[in-house]
Chain A
Amino acid sequence: MRRRTGWTMLAGYAVLVVFAAIYLYPFLIQIATSFKTDSQAAATPLSLAPNPLDLGTWKRIFGLTGDSSVPILGWFANSVLITVVVTAGRVFFDSLAGYALSRMRFRGRGFLFAAVLAVMSVPGVALLIPKFLMVTYLGIYDTYAAMILPLLVDAAGVFIMKQFFDSVPVSVEEAARIDGAGLFRTFWSVVLPMARPALITLTILSFQGSWNEFTHFLVTTQSPEHKTLVTGLASLASGELGAGSQFPLKMGAALLTTIPVAILFFSFQRYFVRGANEGGVKG
Chain B
Amino acid sequence: MRRNTRLALVATTAAAALTVSACGGGFDQQSSAQQNTGGKAKLTILIGSSGDAETNAVKDAAKKWSDKSGNTAEVVVASDLAQQLGQGFAGGTPPDVFYADAGRIGDFAKAGNLYAYGDKVQDAGFLDSLAQTFTYDGKLQCAPKDYSTLALVINTDLWAKAGLTDADIPKDWAGLEAVSKKLTSGNVTGLVISGEWDRIGAFAKQAGGWIVSDDGKTATADTPEMKAGLDEVQKMLKSGSMKYAKQVDAGWGGEAIGKGKAAMTIEGNWIRGALSKDFPNIKAKVVELPAGPAGKGTLVFSNCWGIAAKSKNQAAAVDLVKSMIATDQQLAFAKAFGVMPSTTEGAQKFAETYPDDAAFAKGGEYGQGPVNIPGFDPVKAAFNSNLEQLASKDTKAVLADLQKNTEAATKGQ
Contacts and interface: CB of A to CB of B under 8 A. Distances in A.
B215 interface: no
B77 A136 contact: no
B93 A142 contact: yes
B251 A136 contact: no
Contacts of A227: 79
A107 B25 contact: no
B32 interface: no
A244 B278 contact: yes
A240 B9 contact: no
A172 to B, nearest CB: 30
Contacts of B23: 138
Contact of A136 (B4, B27, B55, B84): B27
Contact of B24 (A137, A240, A245): A137
B111 interface: no
Nearest to B29: A139
Contacts of B52: 67, 69
B8 interface: yes
Given A108-B8, A111-B5, A136-B92, A222 B27 contact: no
Contacts of B83: 222
A243 B253 CA distance: 12
A12 B26 CA distance: 61
B15 interface: no
Interface string B1-33: 100110011000000000010011111010000
B91 A136 contact: yes
A77 interface: no
A107 B24 contact: no
Given A107-B4, A111-B9, A243-B51, A139 B77 contact: no
Contact of A245 (B5, B77, B251): B251
A238 B81 CA distance: 13
A171 to B, nearest CB: 28
B67 interface: no
Given A136-B27, A243-B274, A244-B255, A108 B80 contact: no
For B5, B27, B92, the residue with the greatest tally of chain A CB atoms inside 10 Å of its CB is B5
B76 A224 contact: yes
Contacts of B251: 239, 243-245
Contacts of B93: 141-142
Nearest to A223: B76
A241 to B, nearest CB: 6
A235 B79 contact: yes
B164 interface: no
Interface in A89-144: 107-108, 111, 132, 136-142
Interface in B319-373: none
B9 A108 contact: yes
A283 interface: no
A240 B255 contact: no
A242 interface: yes
A50 to B, nearest CB: 21
A208 B27 CA distance: 33
A146 to B, nearest CB: 10
Contacts of B295: none
B80 A243 contact: no
Interface string A132-164: 100011111110000000000000000000000
Interface in A203-233: 222-224, 227
Interface string B77-106: 111100110011011110000000000000
A86 to B, nearest CB: 21
Interface string B52-82: 1001000000000000000000001111100
Classify chain B's interface size.
20 to 34
B389 interface: no
A223 B46 CA distance: 10
Nearest to A219: B87
A201 to B, nearest CB: 30
A224 B79 contact: yes
A138 B26 contact: yes
Interface string A60-90: 0000000101000000000000000000000
Contacts of B185: none
B50 interface: yes
B25 A139 contact: yes
Contacts of B79: 224, 227, 235, 240-241
Interface string A5-43: 000000000000000000000000000000000000000
A108 B3 CA distance: 10
A239 B79 CA distance: 9
B26 A141 contact: yes
Contacts of A69: 52, 55, 77
A224 B77 contact: yes
A78 B20 CA distance: 28
Contacts of B80: 235, 238, 240
A241 B79 CA distance: 6
B164 to A, nearest CB: 29
A227 B76 CA distance: 14
Q: Which of B20, B80, B83, B88 has the most CB of A within 10 A?
A: B80
A136 B26 contact: yes
A242 B55 CA distance: 11
B91 A107 contact: no
Contacts of A107: 1, 4-5, 8
A5 B79 CA distance: 58
B63 to A, nearest CB: 16
Contacts of A222: 83-84, 87-88, 91
Which 9 interchain pairs have the tightest Cβ spacing? A139-B26, A235-B79, A141-B91, A240-B79, A137-B24, A107-B5, A108-B5, A222-B84, A137-B26
10 contacts: A136-B26, A139-B26, A139-B92, A141-B92, A142-B91, A222-B83, A223-B76, A224-B79, A227-B79, A242-B51
Given A107-B5, A139-B24, A243-B50, 10 more contacts: A107-B8, A111-B9, A137-B26, A138-B20, A138-B26, A222-B87, A224-B79, A240-B79, A240-B80, A241-B79
